[in-house]
Structure 1
Amino acid sequence: MKISNGSAELATEIVGEGPDVLLLHAGVVDRRAWRPLVERLAPTNRCISFDARGHGGTTYQPEPFSRVGDALAVLDSLGSSSAVVIGNSMGGRTALDLAVEHPERTTALVLVAPAISGAPQGDDSPEVQAIDEQMQAAEDAGDLDLLNRLEARFWLDGINGGAEGRVGGQVRELFLDMNRRALAAEPTGDEDRSTNAWERLEQVAVPTLVVVGDLDYDVSTANALTAAQRIPGAEVLRLPDAAHLPVLEGNEACLRGITEFVAAHRP
């Protein structure tokens, strides 16, 4: 189904019945990345996922917009007053921004390798700097196929000890398809980035689970773990054999941990 907000028609998928769970995807994938988790949650929850602007099947015209605003539009359209919100990377940033700006709409948070608005940049390792330079060169040359392969190496395999091609088969093909669409997408317009969740982490007042993969890049992991220390009562799930997209990987410990957390904090 499509849900309207501004010029955007947000491609939205609803699976299951029960308390609402809103799933916000990373910037290199689309809503299809949540399928392994939706299979676990849908028997007892209404799982709501949608493609952000610039991803998947969502259509739009360039305009000023807010990712939190899009998330609220989806919840409002479906008559959802609040939800467990699960976000990965870019979606984690949106989930946190939603929690600090509209705490009444969030009953619990799951932050998977979250980006965090206002977080420090940190110092990248030589390996990260090297692949960043390769990705920038591919982007400058307009070689989206090479850029897509490099991003699979970085985000899917994991630059911190994950061997190239660590994740293969249908999962890798799905990543390459989702990210290829994102790389080729038209500009979305100016995104509202006025929220600084990093300065407000202590205000998060709902049960929170932070998930990190040890194969992810160091700055992402460090910021996520710092956030977990500062969010009151936050739990941490560390995955020694996963990178930035553990749900897409189908990492069993990740899927089980999130499923148990959601079950424990059903409204």
Structure 2
Amino acid sequence: MHGGPFGDHRIWDYQIDSLASKYKVICFDKRGHGKSDIPIDTFSHLEDLKSLMDALALRKITLIGSSAGGALAIDFALQYPAMVKDIVLVCPALNGYPYPSNFISEMVNIYVTGQSEGPETAIQKYISNPFYEYCFPSPNKADARDKVIEIVKESTNFIRWNPMWETELKPSSYERLGEIQLPVLIISADKDSEIILKIGEYIHEKINHSKKVTMKDCGHFPNVENPVDFNHIVLNFLNY
């Protein structure tokens, strides 16, 4: 599952073939992203995922989530634990976590810019903002950087709905992590945002028997920056 606010299923392009050699792989665009419909009222990414799994008759699956997709994987495992076999969290976010005010305000500013000046202006502001430097691979990783920027520049991925329409799990995952008894792999990256690194540590501390791996010389998308090592780490975990 991809993250947000600028993302879609293409963030996994470098994983699909590797994982599909041994497993059935399903990548989807969360509502309001990529090729999925735009929300027109209150909705739940959590229940959307449940509906997709029911439609495809899926049970006991591995959830792999990047950033906000990781937060969704955690929410789903708490709400529907019988449907999940294990979880891979890639530089995860966490719903209910007490994010610092600047983290929230920067995102609000991007959203407000999108509403007042249009998505293209907001996207450029996002790319050029030093605060979000951790999201973009360094220029010496040109292919990876181009890949991330290509996805971010897709205006259909921009927040095109009122963020207040998205409903979240209550009580939040931040308060309930200890309930998760499934195998969990947390993949962090040493050049990621300090707050995202702290979230990874917090999840690791709260979930019994979770495993944490830190990939070196990578930012927020290690699966794009170093797909060979990333795929090896994931496949090793799935073969436990």
Q: TM-score, normalised by structure 2?
A: 0.84
Q: Does 1:201 align with 2:177?
A: yes
- 131-140 vs 53-62, which moves further: 131-140
**Distance change >3 Å, CA 184–CA 100, structure 1 → 2:** closer
Q: 1:85 aligns with which of 41, 49, 63?
A: 63
Q: Give yes or no for contact 1:155–1:243 (8 Å, CA) kept in 2.
A: no
Which runs of no fewer than 5 residues in structure 1 stay unpaired?
1-23
Q: Give yes or no for contact 1:62–1:189 (8 Å, CA) kept in 2.
A: no
Q: Does 1:168 align with 2:142?
A: yes
**Distance change >3 Å, CA 150–CA 249, structure 1 → 2:** farther
Residue in 2 aligned with 1:8? none
2 CA distance for matches of 1:122 and 1:156? 15
Letter in 1 for 2:2: H
Which runs of no fewer than 5 residues in structure 2 stay unpaired?
none
- 139-148 vs 78-87, which moves further: 139-148
Q: How does 1:43-58 map to 2 (within 5 A)?
A: 43-58=21-36
**Distance change >3 Å, CA 39–CA 104, structure 1 → 2:** same
2 CA distance for matches of 1:159 and 1:185? 21
Which structure is higher in RCO with an 8 Å CA cutoff and minimum separation 6? 2
The Cα offsets for residues 125-164 of structure 1, whole Å up to 9 and x where unpaired, read as xxx799769847854651533432443466985179x65x
Q: Give yes or no for contact 1:65–1:189 (8 Å, CA) kept in 2.
A: no
What is the DSSP-based 3-state SS (H/G/I as helix, E as strand, rest coil) of the residue aligned with 1:94? helix
Residue in 2 aligned with 1:185? 160
Q: Give yes or no for contact 2:60–2:84 (8 Å, CA) kept in 1.
A: yes
Q: How does 1:116-195 map to 2 (within 5 A)?
A: 116-122=94-100, 135=110, 138-139=113-114, 142=117, 144-152=119-127, 157-158=133-134, 163=138, 165=139, 167-169=141-143, 170-178=146-154, 180-183=155-158, 185-187=160-162, 190-195=165-170
Q: 1:25: how far off?
A: 0.7
Q: Does 1:254 align with 2:230?
A: yes
2 CA distance for matches of 1:62 and 1:134? 22
Q: Give yes or no for contact 2:73–2:87 (8 Å, CA) kept in 1.
A: yes
The Cα offsets for residues 183-234 of structure 1, whole Å up to 9 and x where unpaired, read as 2635577111133011111111111001111211111110111111111111
The number of equivalent residue pairs is 235
Moved runs in structure 1, 4+ residues, more than 6 A?
A: 128-134
Residue in 1 aligned with 2:196? 220
Residue in 1 aligned with 2:209? 233
2 CA distance for matches of 1:103 and 1:83? 10
Q: Does 1:25 align with 2:2?
A: yes
Q: TM-score, normalised by structure 1?
A: 0.77
Q: Give yes or no for contact 2:14–2:227 (8 Å, CA) kept in 1.
A: no
Q: 1:35: how far off?
A: 1.5
Letter in 2 for 1:47: V
Q: Which structure shows the bigger proportion of residues in strand conformation? A: 1
Q: Which structure shows the bigger proportion of residues in helix conformation? A: 2
